[in-house]
Amino acid sequence: MTHLTMEQLVALRDAVSEPGSAESQAHLGVCADCSAEFERLHQRVARLRALPTLRPSRDRFPQVAARVRQDRRQLYVRRAGLGALALAASLLLVVVGRDVVTPPTASASDKLTAVMAESATLEQALRQIRDGGQVTDAYTARVATSLEDRIAELDRELEAAQLDASAGRDAGVLPLWRERVGLMDALVDVHLTRASNVGL
């Protein structure tokens, strides 16, 4: 009589029926040796499961916590980098982009009207962001405050310019309005970048 191999005995333990398992099962019923071997296999597995739980000799949580803190710092730096990048990109657009997209033939008055309309659109976008009442982290708050301070300063300059009734007034205030639009654009970007980083 051919005895069952260890592979066949091990396969019999699995719930999944495999080819030949019926024959193996039938053999177990008539072969005392294989039946005893199968029982020993069961006992061995039971003893494996009953082995004591091994425990670490030292506490590794401080290392886990330190790595988590390091990961968070790196994430913070990446976020700050993205925010700064967004700000730089927006300011670059202010400096380089405006004259490129504005038709060179437009008058100073037309240009001023276009820039003021853009400023109004950005005001609207900022109002919506603020109305959302989302929590702002320290970095975003710092950047946003410095941008808002500069916008307020520009507003004072623009107010003073309104009092000027000279013929070249539009051409004079145009750079101020452009800078205002650029800063507001940057402010919107800072808020949106922060929102996308925290998954809002």
Please report the sign of the dihedral spanned by the C-alpha atoms of residue 141, residue 147, residue 153, residue 159: negative
**Residue nearer to another protein on the CB measure, 168 or 199:** 199
Q: How many residues does the chain have?
A: 200
CB of 117 vs another protein, minimal distance in Å? 41
Site of tokens 């650029």: 182
Of 49-57, 80-88, 119-127, 189-197, which part binds another protein (CB under 8 A)? Answer: 49-57
CA 171 to mean position of chain CA atoms: 43
| Rounded Cα–Cα distance for residues 177 and 112 (Å) | 7
Q: Among residue numbers 170 through 189, which ones bind another protein (CB under 8 A)?
A: none
Q: Are 125 and 168 in contact (CB under 8 A)?
A: no
10: contact with another protein by CB under 8 A: yes
Q: Among residue numbers 16 through 45, which ones bind another protein (CB under 8 A)?
A: 16, 33-34, 36-37, 40-41, 44-45
137: contact with another protein by CB under 8 A: no
73: contact with another protein by CB under 8 A: no
**Chosen residue from 22, 23, 25, 63 binding another protein by CB under 8 A:** 63
Q: Cα torsion at 91, 95, 96, 101 (round to 10°)?
A: 100
Phi first, then psi: what are they for 17, rounded to 5°? -80, 130
| Rounded Cα–Cα distance for residues 116 and 1 (Å) | 98
64: contact with another protein by CB under 8 A: yes
Task: Point out which residues bind another protein (CB under 8 A).
Answer: 3, 5-7, 9-11, 14, 16, 33-34, 36-37, 40-41, 44-45, 47-49, 51, 53-58, 60-61, 63-65, 67-68, 71-72
